[in-house]
């Protein structure tokens, strides 16, 4: 084929594409509100959030700032249980809803949900949950330290405890998990000397994921002879308590993003024992039946 003929065809193609483009735009305007569902309008430009102290809320607020299409949107502060009630109600009625959600959590086992894509990455990618401890703990409690350092489990383990604890107290769910997973627990405690009533304080946060890890580790440490208390506080206080030595250990930091700012602030005054779980995630979550895939596609408030 001659070159100028090829150019000719390309030009014709581009021109017709241009025409099609214009045509679509006109059609959209003409049919406004007819075919195209405005999810923003349907959910009243509102994201259902959780407790204001949660790292998730910082990320969600940042998301509202970073995405231009979320201009005029609001993030509702409340509680995790309130968010879950609204989510359950919406799903029962097949209504649209957008919440801040995360894994590990039983919400994904109970409902058909999806994360909205987050091309700007404001919710981070894969998150870990780390174990942090006060400085000096390795010298003061060498036996406990070994167990804390070895503690590692999978998202499915945490989810199993969380899911069962929907029906029974966390302590019972944790006891059952330990019974069914003696091999894992043995890996953490193998060769560690038992103690006689030494006190250890776990600083935690008030979410089911951390109720699960806290209760499991409380029972494991109790079996080794420790007197264990769990204190649930906001993430900011949790980091502070470890950094100033008021608490001994926490299994609750979500990193690198969710609690990243607190971690940076306190990292020099604490010991990081590394991940106790990998494969956690946070984001905007919607029921599977909603016709939306990306945060980017939400419509701005006019
Ligand atoms: N969460 C659950 C917490 C940490 C654990 C994701 C809701 C948060 O700080 O956002």
| Sequence spans of domains, the chain | 41-124+284-297, 127-280
How far is it, in rounded angstroms, from Cα 53 to Cα 78? 10
Q: Which CATH number fits the domain 41-124+284-297, given the four candidates 3.40.190.100, 3.30.110.30, 1.10.150.120, 3.40.50.920?
A: 3.40.190.100
Measured CA angle at 110 (ends 123, 36), to 5 deg: 60
Give residue 177's pLDDT. 98
Q: Which residues, 6 or more positions from 101, have their beta carbon under 8 angstroms from its beta carbon?
A: 107, 108, 113, 115, 282, 283, 284, 285
Q: What is the CB-side half-sphere exposure of residue 225 using CA atoms within 13 A?
A: 11
Residue 107 in contact with residue 113, Cβ under 8 Å?
Answer: yes
How far is it, in rounded angstroms, from Cα 101 to Cα 96? 15
Q: How far is the CA of 137 from the centre of ligand 1 (A)?
A: 26
Q: How far is the CA of 139 from the centre of ligand 1 (A)?
A: 31
Q: Which residues, 6 or more positions from 206, have their beta carbon under 8 angstroms from its beta carbon?
A: 51, 232, 233, 234
Could you read off the pLDDT of 184-223 as tens digits, one per residue?
999 999 999 999 999 999 999 999 999 999 999 999 999 9
Give residue 35's pLDDT. 59
CATH number of 127-280: 3.10.105.10
Q: What is the mean pLDDT of each run of 10 residues along the chain (302 residues)?
A: 44 40 42 68 97 98 98 97 98 98 95 98 97 97 98 97 96 98 98 96 98 98 98 98 98 98 98 98 98 96 86
Residues with CB under 6 A from ligand 1: 50, 54-56, 102, 205, 207, 209-210, 235, 254, 258, 282
How far is it, in rounded angstroms, from Cα 20 to Cα 17? 5
Give residue 3's pLDDT. 45
């Amino acid at each position: 084929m001659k070159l100028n003929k090829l150019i000719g065809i390309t030009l014709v193609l581009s021109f017709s594409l241009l025409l099609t483009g214009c045509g679509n735009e006109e059609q959209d305007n003409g049919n406004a509100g007819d075919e195209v569902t405005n999810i923003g309008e349907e959910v009243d430009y509102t994201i259902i959030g959780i407790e204001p102290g949660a790292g998730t809320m910082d990320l969600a607020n940042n998301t509202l700032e970073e995405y231009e299409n979320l201009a005029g949107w609001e993030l509702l502060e409340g509680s995790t249980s309130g968010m879950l009630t609204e989510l359950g109600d919406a799903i029962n009625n097949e209504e649209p809803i957008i919440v801040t959600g995360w894994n590990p959590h039983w919400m994904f086992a109970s409902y058909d949900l999806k994360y909205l894509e987050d091309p700007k990455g404001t919710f981070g990618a894969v998150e870990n949950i780390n174990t942090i401890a006060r400085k000096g703990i390795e010298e003061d409690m060498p036996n406990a330290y070994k167990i804390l350092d070895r503690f590692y489990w999978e998202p499915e383990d945490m989810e199993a405890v969380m899911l069962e604890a929907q029906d029974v107290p966390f302590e019972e769910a944790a006891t059952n998990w330990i019974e069914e997973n003696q091999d894992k627990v043995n890996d953490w405690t193998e060769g560690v000397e038992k103690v006689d009533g030494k006190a250890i304080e776990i600083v935690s946060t008030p979410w089911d994921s951390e109720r699960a890890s806290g209760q499991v580790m409380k029972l494991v440490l109790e079996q080794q002879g420790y007197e264990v208390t769990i204190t649930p506080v906001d993430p900011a206080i949790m980091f502070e308590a470890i950094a100033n030595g008021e608490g001994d250990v926490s299994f609750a930091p979500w990193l690198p993003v969710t609690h990243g700012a607190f971690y940076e602030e306190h990292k020099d005054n604490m010991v990081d024992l590394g991940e106790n779980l990998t494969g956690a995630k946070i984001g905007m979550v919607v029921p599977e039946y909603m016709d939306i895939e990306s945060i980017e596609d939400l419509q701005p408030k006019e």
